[in-house]
Structure 1
Amino acid sequence: MALEAAGLQAVAFDGVAHGESAGRRTTVLDHVAGMHALQERHGRFAAVVGHSLGGLAAGIAVRDGLAAERYVAIAAPTGFDSVVASFRRLVGLPDALHEALCDRVARDLFPGEPGARERLDLVRHPVAADVPALFVHDVDDRMHGSAEARRLHAAHPGSELLVTAELGHNRVLDDPDVVAAVVEHASASLLVAR
Structure 2
Amino acid sequence: MQKQVLPTSLKVSALLLSVLGKPFPGLAASLFLRLYSTPPKRKFRSTHMEVKNEAKVGEMQLSIYPFRGDQIRLATYSWGQSDKKVLLLHGWGGSPLDFKHMITALVSSGYEVISFDAPAHGFSAGKRTNLIQWMHVMHQVLQQAGPVHAIIGHSLGGLNAALTLVRQEVTVPRLVMISAAVSAPSFFKETYDLFRIPPVVVEKVEQQILKQLHQDLKELDLFLYPQQIKAEKILVVYDENDTVAKPEEINMFLQQYSSISALRINGDGHFRIMKDKVVIEKVLDFLN
TM-score (norm: length of structure 2): 0.56
Q: 1:85 to 1:138 in 2, by over 3 A?
A: farther
Aligned with 2:124: secondary structure?
coil
Which letter does structure 2 place at the counterpart of 1:157?
Answer: S
Q: Which has the higher strand share?
A: 2
Q: 1:110 to 1:22 in 2, by over 3 A?
A: farther
Q: Indicate yes or no: 2:156 matched with 1:56.
A: no
Moved more, 157-166 or 51-60: 157-166
Q: Provide the C-alpha distance between the structure 2 equivalents of 1:104 and 1:61, rounded to a whole number of angstroms.
A: 26
- Alpha-carbon deviation of 1:170? 0.6
Q: Provide the C-alpha distance between the structure 2 equivalents of 1:133 and 1:79, rounded to a whole number of angstroms.
A: 17
CA contact (8 A) 1:86 1:144 kept: no
Q: Provide the C-alpha distance between the structure 1 equivalents of 2:130 and 2:221, rounded to a whole number of angstroms.
A: 14
2:281 to 180, 183, 186: 180
Aligned to 1:81: 185
Q: Provide the C-alpha distance between the structure 1 equivalents of 2:267 and 2:105, rounded to a whole number of angstroms.
A: 24
Q: Provide the C-alpha distance between the structure 1 equivalents of 2:204 and 2:273, rounded to a whole number of angstroms.
A: 32
Return 5+ residue gaps in structure 2 as ranges.
Answer: 1-103
Relative contact order higher in (CA < 8 Å, ≥ 6 apart): 1
Aligned to 1:162: 263
Which letter does structure 2 place at the counterpart of 1:109?
Answer: I
1:107 to 188, 198, 207: 207
Q: Indicate yes or no: 2:115 matched with 1:15.
A: no
Aligned to 2:222: 122
- Alpha-carbon deviation of 1:172? 0.8
Q: Provide the C-alpha distance between the structure 2 equivalents of 1:154 and 1:100, rounded to a whole number of angstroms.
A: 34
Q: Provide the C-alpha distance between the structure 2 equivalents of 1:129 and 1:156, rounded to a whole number of angstroms.
A: 13
- Alpha-carbon deviation of 1:40? 1.7
CA contact (8 A) 1:74 1:136 kept: yes
Q: Indicate yes or no: 2:244 matched with 1:143.
A: yes
Aligned residues: 182
Q: 1:155 to 1:142 in 2, by over 3 A?
A: same
- Alpha-carbon deviation of 1:21? 3.4
- Alpha-carbon deviation of 1:55? 0.7
Aligned with 1:158: secondary structure?
coil
Moved more, 122-131 or 67-76: 122-131
User: RMSD across aligned C-alpha pairs, in angstroms?
Assistant: 2.5
Q: What is the aligned-residue identity percentage?
A: 26
Q: 1:107 to 1:157 in 2, by over 3 A?
A: same
- Larger-gyration structure (1/2): 2
Q: Provide the C-alpha distance between the structure 2 equivalents of 1:13 and 1:51, rounded to a whole number of angstroms.
A: 13
1:132 to 233, 241, 247: 233
Q: Provide the C-alpha distance between the structure 1 equivalents of 2:229 and 2:268, rounded to a whole number of angstroms.
A: 29
Q: Provide the C-alpha distance between the structure 2 equivalents of 1:11 and 1:148, rounded to a whole number of angstroms.
A: 29
- Alpha-carbon deviation of 1:101? 5.8
1:34 to 137, 152, 155: 137
Q: Provide the C-alpha distance between the structure 1 equivalents of 2:117 and 2:249, rounded to a whole number of angstroms.
A: 23
- Alpha-carbon deviation of 1:114? 5.1
TM-score (norm: length of structure 1): 0.80
Which letter does structure 2 place at the counterpart of 1:50?
Answer: G
- Alpha-carbon deviation of 1:54? 0.9
Moved more, 63-72 or 165-174: 63-72
Which letter does structure 1 place at the counterpart of 2:190?
Answer: S
Q: 1:128 to 1:52 in 2, by over 3 A?
A: closer
CA contact (8 A) 2:240 2:247 kept: yes
